[in-house]
Amino acid sequence: MTEAERLAAELLAQMQAAGAQPVATEILQPAETLLDLYGEDIRARAYVTHDPRQGEMMLRPDFTVPVVQAHMRIGAEPARYCYAGPVFRMQTSTRAREYLQVGFELFARDDPARADAEVFALFTRLLQGHDLRPVTGDIGILKAAVEGLETSPERKAALLRHIWRPRRFRALLERMGGHGPLAKARAELVTKLQNASAETLIAEAGQMVGLRSAEEIAERAALLCADAQTPPIPQAQVARLEHLLALAAPATEALAQLRAQDWPALTPALDRLEARLKALAAAGIDPAALPFEASFGRTTMEYYDGFVFGFIAGRADLPPVATGGRYDALTAVLGQGRAIPAVGGVIRPETLALLEGKA
């Protein structure tokens, strides 16, 4: 048994002692479900194969989705699950493509703030004694900020879709505010479209390249022209959103700063943050010393929609030792109309072993 496997078994046993039921999932998962959830982008991060009987399949990139599916079929409530096993992700760096993951999931309808605090407090205990920096965030606050912008529903939807891609999000925000190179390029293209039909421009461009049809390109051109009629997002709102994205402070101070901005669109999300901080304090976590970063969690799996957290090693070459968060919307999608609030997280025992010098 390797040190990582020993740590995985130890962590799993502690999760069971905390009331979690161990579960197992198939390594091969139906690709259709993940593609429906995340779009074709998931192909760049997962290993895809074809089964003659079941169609397109993926090597398990994550445990949460199959655990949610199993719970939504037969689970009682509240429920706590734990698991351990390998997951598979394509990497553009030297990070491992196959690695162990140990996780804990909590499904409970009552008191989401207390559930968030329970999971975070459990991970704090599990990782006690390791030199790790905890960090928290809240994707729900970012989503509320976007929903509160004075702009079209289509622009809001585009920004929400790209919350998980920080560079793309910033470029969109600049363009929708009427600034940046993307805004200028878009304006030049719209001017051409307004002076000539999309069909004419397509014909002048020469041979068709790529998978989009001429009809699809023309439809996209029409959307661009319609979007050009939308007034820019007020610069004050762009600046306020950029300030939010840069916010990093102890959680209690971060809440106070956000309250002081008198941003009505954020009030429900900030109320949830305040309730969570009170629950964390009741669980023995000091929110005045707990780091909060508004942008944290924007490069992880795209199903988190509220509280997010991580435990970070002091080495830039290593991934977070642990990450997690709330994913209420995912249960509604996988439950086919049924939904239940849910929060969970995962730990990388191999990274822990490496930090201990025992890998």
The model's pTM is 0.86
State which residues form the domain around 184: 151-238
Q: Are residues 8 and 88 in the same domain?
A: yes
- pLDDT of residue 157 exceeding 90, the answer is yes
**What's the mean pLDDT in 298-318?**
87
Both structure tokens of 109: 């309808």
- pLDDT tens-digit map of 158-167: 999 899 889 9
Between CA 291 and CA 300, with CA 294 as vertex, the angle to 5 degrees is 95
Of 238, 255, 278, which marks where a domain is finished? 238
The answer as to whether 295 is a domain residue is no
Structurally, the chain folds into a number of domains equal to 2
Q: 117: pLDDT confidence band, cut at 50, 70 and 90?
A: very high
DSSP character string of 173-214: HHHHTT-HHHHHHHHHHHHHHHHS-HHHHHHHH-S--SS--H
Of 217, 238, 259, which marks where a domain is finished? 238
| Closest CA relative to residue 20, chosen from 61, 75, 96, 72 | 75
The answer as to whether 201 is a domain residue is yes
Q: Are residues 182 and 77 in the same domain?
A: no
Q: 203: pLDDT confidence band, cut at 50, 70 and 90?
A: low
The answer as to whether 195 is a domain residue is yes
Question: What whole-number distance in Å separates Cα of residue 308 and Cα of residue 300?
Answer: 10
Residue 120 CB partners (closer than 8 Å, separation 6+) = 136, 280, 283, 285, 307, 309, 324
Of 238, 257, 277, which marks where a domain is finished? 238
The answer as to whether 304 is a domain residue is no
The answer as to whether 221 is a domain residue is yes
Based on its alpha-carbon atoms, the radius of gyration of the chain, rounded to whole angstroms, reads 23
The answer as to whether 335 is a domain residue is no
Question: What whole-number distance in Å separates Cα of residue 349 and Cα of residue 356?
Answer: 11
Q: 74: pLDDT confidence band, cut at 50, 70 and 90?
A: confident
Question: What whole-number distance in Å separates Cα of residue 37 and Cα of residue 57?
Answer: 15
**What's the mean pLDDT in 247-259?**
97
- pLDDT tens-digit map of 214-248: 676 666 666 666 666 778 899 999 999 999 999 99
The answer as to whether 19 is a domain residue is yes
For CA atoms 65, 69, 70, 71, the dihedral sign is positive
